[in-house]
Amino acid sequence: MAAALAADAELRPLFAFNQTVPTRRGGHPRVDLLWQAGRLVVEIDGYADHATREAFRRDRQRDYELAISGYLVLRLTAEEVLADPWLSLDKLRDAVQFRQGNQMQEHG
């Protein structure tokens, strides 16, 4: 994903890897990818790290805290990113366009 993102002139300047995001509930989750200006978080989930009930619960709590703090969370599986990073990049592009459309409506 990092190589695909680095090769994309449109998306590359938007995203930063492994960023900490303060939330309204006092949490500070570290997220895989962040587009701060667009309030878009991308999480790449591997099965091994998310296979327990506790890990599942923690992810839902993170999503909740990020959502009430104004962030859209896009979750991709590690398998899909490894199998086709370009398709994953297309999903990122769709989410960016969605957020840009919402920002225009809010300010328009």
pLDDT of residue 105: 60
pLDDT of residue 107: 55
User: Domain tally for the chain?
Assistant: 1
DSSP 8-state assignment for residue 23: -
CATH number at residue 58: 3.40.960.10
pLDDT band of residue 43 (cuts 50, 70, 90) is very high
pLDDT of residue 29: 95
Q: Would you say residue 108 has pLDDT above 60?
A: no
**In percent, how much of the chain has pLDDT > 70?**
92
- Per-residue HEC secondary structure of 61-97 comes to HHHHHHHHCCCEEEEEEHHHHHHCHHHHHHHHHHHHH
The residue segments making up the domain with residue 61 are 2-107
pLDDT of residue 56: 87
Q: What is the pLDDT of residues 19-33, one digit of tens each?
A: 999 999 999 999 999
